[in-house]
């Protein structure tokens, strides 16, 4: 089966269903379809990334879709994805421009293996004869954020799930992807009575009653709001949603 080696954290973000484009300077003649995703031995520090990306990664970590930075596997096959095409012009927030990003590999149906497979990566699309489309390893079935009236369902990392009874609240950065689960168009919290927290890996659940939800604008040490640009050049401000629950 064909395999592509990708630097972390991008490999984990793809297999966690977060990143839907892989930026490359090259392409192959035809979209290869389903390929394995290999996490290379190098990793780009998340702290070096623009806020627009680092906050999404922090959310993915909190929701259990992506491991914490120090736990991201290296030198291993971690999942698979369908490469459905290549384009030079893409509207995805993960599409980049410039040298080294001439081609955007379009990604669908990415899945994470429950157990990474140590494997030596190579350049380009390389063959992994030990795995084929008919004997793919078991994958994680990630739950999604959902709302049913005044009840929220939130996936969380296994570490957070184990600590819920000792924590006063759970928080995420507010983004275009999740804001409609938590706040209205005026950034007022949506009335919420309870949250069902779901361990993103095991699927175990716990229901907690909500005491309060606070939408908070994040500020610098000098009190000025934290702002940043999205990939389209729009100026945005950083907000968090803080869910206080009754233990």
Burial (0-12, 13-18, 19+ Cβ within 10 Å), 157: buried
* Predicted confidence (pLDDT) per residue in 172-199, tens digit: 999 989 999 999 999 999 999 999 999 9
* Predicted confidence (pLDDT) per residue in 51-62, tens digit: 999 999 999 999
Confidence (pLDDT) at 103:
95
Question: Which is nearest to 107 in space by CA: 231, 9, 2, 23?
Answer: 23
**pTM for this model (two decimals):** 0.94
Q: Compute the distance between CA of residue 24 and CA of residue 98 in angstroms, rounded to an integer.
A: 10
Confidence (pLDDT) at 97:
87
* Predicted confidence (pLDDT) per residue in 94-107, tens digit: 998 889 889 999 99
Question: Which is nearest to 26 in space by CA: 77, 84, 86?
Answer: 86
Average pLDDT, the chain: 95
- What the block records as the tokens of 112 is 């994470």
């Amino acid at each position: 089966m064909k395999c592509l080696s990708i630097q972390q954290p991008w490999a984990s973000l793809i297999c966690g269903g977060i990143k839907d484009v892989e930026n490359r300077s090259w392409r192959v003649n035809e979209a290869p379809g389903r390929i394995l995703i290999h996490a290379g031995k190098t990793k780009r520090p998340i702290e070096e990334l623009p806020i627009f990306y680092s906050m999404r990664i922090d959310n993915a970590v909190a929701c259990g879709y992506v491991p914490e930075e120090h736990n991201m596997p290296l030198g291993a096959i971690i999942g698979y994805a369908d490469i459905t095409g290549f384009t030079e012009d893409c509207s995805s927030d993960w599409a980049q421009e410039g040298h080294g990003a001439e081609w955007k590999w379009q990604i669908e149906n990415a899945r994470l293996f429950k157990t990474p497979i140590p494997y030596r990566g190579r350049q380009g699309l390389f063959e992994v004869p030990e795995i084929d489309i008919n004997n793919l390893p078991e994958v994680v079935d990630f739950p999604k954020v959902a709302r049913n009236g005044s009840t929220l369902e939130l996936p969380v990392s296994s570490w957070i799930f184990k600590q819920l009874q000792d924590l006063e609240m759970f928080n995420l950065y507010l983004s275009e992807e999740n804001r409609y689960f938590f706040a209205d168009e005026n950034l007022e919290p949506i009335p919420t009575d309870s949250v069902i927290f779901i361990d993103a890996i095991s699927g175990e659940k716990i229901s907690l009653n909500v005491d309060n939800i606070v939408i908070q604008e994040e500020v610098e040490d000098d009190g000025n709001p934290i702002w940043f640009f999205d990939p389209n050049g729009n100026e945005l401000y950083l907000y968090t949603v803080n869910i206080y629950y009754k233990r």
